[in-house]
Amino acid sequence: MERLSVWMVDDDPSVRDALGVFLEIAGFDVLAFESGESFLACPQLGGARPRVLLLDQRLGGGMSGLDVQAELSRRGVSIPIVFITGHGDARMAQAALQQGAASFLEKPFHHKDLLDSIEKAAAQGKR
C-alpha cells in the first residue's frame, strides 16, 4: 500500500520532531520544513506534490502560515492544507478555512484529531 506523503512547516524543532516520529509510526512519508521560505523553495514542490500539508500559522522569520497559503494559491499550486494554530489564533484559522484550507487544529491537539484531519484533507485532494 502506498504511503501517504505529508509535508509540514513548523518553526519549533521539538514539534517537528514529535510530529515526524508520530506520523512515521502512523504510516506516513514525512518531510519537514522550519519556515515558509524553505518550504516554498523546495524543488519537489512543483513535481511530486505532497498529498497533505501541515502548516503552522505562526512561523519564525518573515512569512506566516497565511502568507504561505496565499503564495501557493498565487502560484496555482493546490495542496490540501491542515492549519495548525496556537492558542487564540481562531480568527486567523477562520480566514485560512475561507481561503480553502481543509481544516484547522489548535495546539495541543489529540492525535486522533490529527489523523482525522489528514484523512479528510487527503480525501478532499482526491476529489
Partner 1 sequence: MNPQVGQAQKPGVPHSARILLLVAGLMGVAMYAADALVEAALHHHGELVDQLIRPDSAVLLIRLGVAGLFLALGWAAYLLLRRERSSAEHLRMAESFLSSVVDNIPDMVFIKDARELRFVRVNPAGERLVGLSADELIGKSDYDFFPEAQADFFTGTDRNVLSSGQVLDIPEEEIDTRHMGCRLLHTKKVPILDKDGRPAFLLGLSEDITERRHAEHAVQVEKARAEHYLEISRSMIVGLDREGRVNLINPRGCEILGWTEAEILGRNWFDTVLPEKIRTRERELARDLLDGHAAPEGVYEGEILTRAGQVRQIAWNLALQRGPKGEVVGTLCSGQDVTDRVMAELAAQRHHQELAHVMRLSTMGEMASGMAHELNQPLTAVVTYCAAAMVLLDREPASQEAVRGTLEKAAEQARRAGDIIRRLRGLVKKGDSTQGLIRVDGMITEAIAFLEWELRQSAIDLELTLNGGDRPVRADPVQIEQVLINLIRNGLDSIRAGAVAGGRIEVETEVTDRATLRLTVRDNGPGIDPYVLSRLFEPFLTTKAKGLGIGLSISRSIIEAHGGSLWGENEPEGGSAFGFELPLAAEEQGGEAERLDGR
Q: Out of 6, 8, 9, 19, point to the residue binding partner 1 (CB under 8 A).
A: 19
Q: Toward partner 1, which CB reaches closer, 92 or 100?
A: 92
Q: In sequence order, what are the residues at sequence separation of 6 or more whose Cβ sits closer than 8 angstroms to the Cβ of residue 2?
A: none
Question: Are the beta carbons of 46 and 56 closer than 8 angstroms?
Answer: no
Question: Are the beta carbons of 92 and 121 closer than 8 angstroms?
Answer: no
Q: Minimum Å distance from CB 19 to partner 1?
A: 6
Q: Toward partner 1, which CB reaches closer, 72 or 84?
A: 84
**What residue type is assigned to position 100 of the chain?**
G
**Dihedral angle sign, alpha carbons of residues 81, 74, 36, 69:** negative
Q: Out of 34, 49, 58, 124, point to the residue binding partner 1 (CB under 8 A).
A: 58
**Residue list 60-79, contact with partner 1 (CB under 8 A):** 60-62
Specify the residue for cell string 495542496.
Answer: 79
Q: Out of 22, 29, 40, 92, point to the residue binding partner 1 (CB under 8 A).
A: 22
Binding site for partner 1 (CB under 8 A): 11-12, 14-15, 17-19, 21-22, 25-26, 58, 60-62, 86-88, 107-111, 114
